[in-house]
Structure 1
Amino acid sequence: MALLALPASAQEAEAPDEGASLIEEGARMLFEGLMQQTEPALEELRQMAEKFGPQLRGFAEEMGPALAEILKDVEDLSVYEAPEQLPNGDIIIRRKEPLPKDAPEGPLEDAPMPEGEIEI
């Protein structure tokens, strides 16, 4: 009787290994399918990076210091609307809610005002 039980227990021992290999095979197939489906989008993204990369790098090198200087005076970007370009090409960024009258003066309010009229 003990000999008859040995093959059954050997089969049971193989089942988890076979199950694990089936899971591994399924995961491999899933990832291969995902790679095939995303390959065209990744190739398009790579081409865009090649095309626009130098322009974006130049923009960052030129505008980076100016943007860093502006951001020193801005504590929280969430209080501002999205930038808006005026017909004359100027770009303005409005506050969502105006500052209260009793708000402490910040660095921009301390700046000297130019004399004469300012075109807005």
Structure 2
Amino acid sequence: MKQIALTATLAFALALPAQADDTKPEEGFGLMEKGARLLFEGLLQEMQPALRDMEGLTEQLEPALRGFVENMGPALGGLLEQVEDFSKYHPPEVLPNGDIILRRKSEAELAEPEGEVDL
């Protein structure tokens, strides 16, 4: 999350002119630049609390996600080895008792349609 905040701040800083010159009249792109700058400043101010909250949330979730990956990683790897090609299966179905079924498609469903296909 820190990377997002840093990237947004860097993009905002690069969009600002290197040296402010208030002596020339603000016309054309000058007004556009000022409007864009005000827009980005407003967005940055509005997003800072949310970014801080998300940073705290990611710090809380990190240990749980690491544990999930450590425990489920080998199991998911084994499943991927057994299934080979997911396009040969229908989407998973959840039964009322909580079981999950992966139904294999029939040969007719796997065969490509004959004739022209409109795109």
Give the TM-score normalised by the residue count of structure 2.
0.52
Q: Highest CA radius of gyration, 1 or 2?
A: 1
Deviation of 1:94 after TM superposition, in Å, equals 1.6
What is the aligned partner in structure 2 of residue 54 from structure 1?
63
For residues 83 and 42 of structure 1, the distance between their equivalents in structure 2, rounded to whole angstroms, comes to: 36
**Alignment: residue pair count:** 84
Match of residue 37 from structure 1: 46
Identify which of 68, 72, 86 aligns with 1:76.
Answer: 86
Whether 1:100 and 2:67 are equivalent positions in the alignment is no
Segments of 5+ residues of structure 2 without an aligned counterpart are 1-23, 110-119
Partner SS state of residue 80, structure 1: coil
Unaligned segments of structure 1, at least 5 residues: 1-13, 104-120
Question: CA, structure 1 residues 36+21, in 2 after alignment: closer, same or farther (shift >3 Å)?
Answer: same
Structure 2 counterpart of 1:63: 72
- What is the TM-score of this pair, normalised by structure 1? 0.52
Percent identical pairs in the alignment equals 37
Going from structure 1 to structure 2, the CA distance change for 1:101 and 1:31 (only over 3 Å counts) comes to: closer
Structure 1 residue 18, shift from structure 2 partner: 3.7
How big is the alpha-carbon RMSD for the aligned residues of Structure 1 and Structure 2? Answer: 3.4
- Residues 80, 93 of structure 1: 8 Å contact kept: no
Is this contact kept in 2: 1:85–1:92, CA < 8 A?
A: yes
2: CA distance, partners of 1:84 / 1:33: 49
Question: Relative contact order: is structure 1 or structure 2 higher (C-alpha 8 Å, sep ≥ 6)?
Answer: 2
Q: What per-residue deviation string (whole Å, max 9, x for no partner) do you get for residues 55-101 of structure 1?
A: 10121122112112212333227722266795xxxx64223x55438
